Structure formats: structure tokens, C-alpha cells
Amino acid sequence: MNILLFGKGGQVGWELQRSLSVLGTVTALDFDSTDHCGDFSNPAGVAETVRALRPDVIVNAAAHTAVDKAESEADFARTLNATTPGAIAQEAAKLGAWLVHYSTDYVFDGSGSRPWVETDAPAPLSVYGRTKLEGEQLIAQSGAKHLILRTSWVYAARGGNFAKTMLRLAQERERLTVIDDQWGAPTGADLLADVTAHAIRHLQKHPEDAGLYHLVAAGETNWNEYAKFVLATAAKHPVGEKIVAKEVAPVPTSAFPTPAVRPHNSRLDTSKLRSTFGLTLPHWQAGVARMLTEIL
């Protein structure tokens, strides 16, 4: 199987390089790759890459993920999150290739407290959410065989992440303030990559299972509880002795105004994915604890 991976340097892209390697030959590209164009600001160049490499499966982990910045560069975000994925999908349809793509809980307006299911009506609140939804729609309309995985609150051991920020602040301040009114599930890039590889294998035998799925770790939390879990776990490691924070105070989202509006309810229902692909999704705390063990 020939696999073409876009966005190899991102959180999910990095883990996909590992998880996809057992399925076949992987050509992994980033925005500055020189052999073939992997720059999503150039839809025609990326389409040409697909035509030249003729992959069996395309996995797209590239995106404009700077949610606040997207508010002031909507055209650029649209090119990266919608136009170029749409162009890839057109080429995939012509080739008969599979396209695997990632989307987000930000396609929803965050109302209520029930976990969102795939058939719920999207109503994005931000440029990021709107452009990611447009990307989903262009892929679905292209006629390409596709798998779209909506996820939330992605973290990885590599690079910066929320847990690392909390650990740093907890060594500098006695009191942290962290919002407690946005709910969701922190989801590891490693989990997303492993499920992607499993799903690709499944789809080779069951192409009828193509489509849109929600994929997040099990359980739910808010950012305040997430921070407390990070600090409690860190306390069991040597770094715990350096933590001076005594309180993680809950505050509403309104305490930290940001250019992009974020959904309060980011819970995603994963029943469809678990039953279709026969998978168990681990609790978010297991993945975060593992990531912390790796970085501490």
C-alpha cells in the first residue's frame, strides 16, 4: 500500500509517521518539503503531488490550527483548511484513492451538555470552525472514498502543550486561574494515529464504513480539572518538589477574552466509531498520565 502523508511535522502527523509505517510505504511531506509540494497555501501544487505519486491512501494531518490567529487571516485559514483538502479530495476521487482527514469539535456551537453525535447540525463559532467545516463538506461532496475523524483538545509529548504550560506556571506562581466552563476530552496524538492505522486496515475490507466519525479519548473534563490532574500526577515525580502552586482557581471563559469564541460543550459521542471499528477508547487520564511520564 502506498500512503501519502501531509503535515508530517504536526502533533498528529508526527505520530502518523510511526503508526502508518506498518501498513506500507509512506511518503511524508511538510509545507517545506522539496521533492514534492506539501505546502497547503498552494492547492494546485498539492494536487499535482497527488497526481505524481498516485497513492492508495492519502492522510491529511496539515491544517491551520492557530484558532485565534485564524480570526484575522480567514482567507489563509480557508485555503489551508478547506480549499486544499478539497483539491486533494478531487484528485483522490479521480485516482480511486482513500482520503483520511481530521476535523474538530469546533464545528459545533458548544450549546447544551450532551455529547455531540455525527448527525447533529454544525454551527461553528469561529473562522477555524467554519473553515474546518467547509473542508469536511468539500471532501464529502468530492465523491472520494473518505474517512473524516473529528477530535478535540489534542496533545502530544513532542512540542508545546497545555500540560507543559501548567507545569511551568505551577513552578512560578502560588495561584493559577484556569477556566472551568469548557468541557471535552483531552486526546493524544498517539491515540489518533493508532486508530487511524486500524481504521485504514478495516476500510480495505469494509469500504461501506467510509464517512464521518467522532474520535476522542473516553471520559470528560474541563480545563481546570485537567490542570489539577496534571499537577497531581506531576507531584508523584521529582518535579513535584519544584511546584509552588497551592491553588488552581476556577474562572469562567470570560476571564480570558480571546479573538476566537470557543465552544463550552466540546463533548463528542464516539459510539459510532467504537461500534463500527470494534475499538475501545482509553480514558483521557490514562493518555495524559502516560504523556507526563514521558516528559517528566
Ligand X SMILES: NC(=O)c1ccc[n+]([C@@H]2O[C@H](COP(=O)([O-])OP(=O)(O)OC[C@H]3O[C@@H](n4cnc5c(N)ncnc54)[C@H](OP(=O)(O)O)[C@@H]3O)[C@@H](O)[C@H]2O)c1
Give the residue numbers annotated as catalytic, written as ranges. Answer: 128
Which range, of 62-70, 118-126, 237-245, 246-254, touches ligand X by CB under 6 A? 62-70
Q: Is 43 in contact with 19 (CB distance < 8 Å)?
A: no
Our CB check for ligand X shows the closer of 189 and 199 to be: 189
The single residue among 4, 10, 78, 197 that binds ligand X, judged by CB under 6 A, is: 10
162 near ligand X, rule: CB under 6 A: no
Our CB check for ligand X shows the closer of 40 and 183 to be: 40
CA distance 194 to 146: 17
Our CB check for ligand X shows the closer of 148 and 245 to be: 148
223 near ligand X, rule: CB under 6 A: no
Amino acid 74 reads A
Q: Is 92 in contact with 40 (CB distance < 8 Å)?
A: no
Residue 206 neighbours by CB under 8 Å, 6+ apart: none
Q: Is 3 in contact with 57 (CB distance < 8 Å)?
A: yes
Our CB check for ligand X shows the closer of 196 and 245 to be: 196
Question: Residues in contact with ligand X, total (CB under 6 A)?
Answer: 24
34 SS3 class:
coil
88 near ligand X, rule: CB under 6 A: no
Which range, of 8-16, 119-127, 137-145, 257-265, touches ligand X by CB under 6 A? 8-16
Cα separation values, 267 from 117, 124, 240, Å: 9, 15, 31
Residues 127-146 that bind ligand X (CB under 6 A): 132
Residue 139 C-beta: closest distance to ligand X, Å: 12
55 SS3 class:
coil
Q: Is 217 in contact with 187 (CB distance < 8 Å)?
A: yes
Binding site for ligand X (CB under 6 A): 7, 9-13, 31, 38-41, 61-63, 65, 80, 102, 104, 132, 151-154, 189
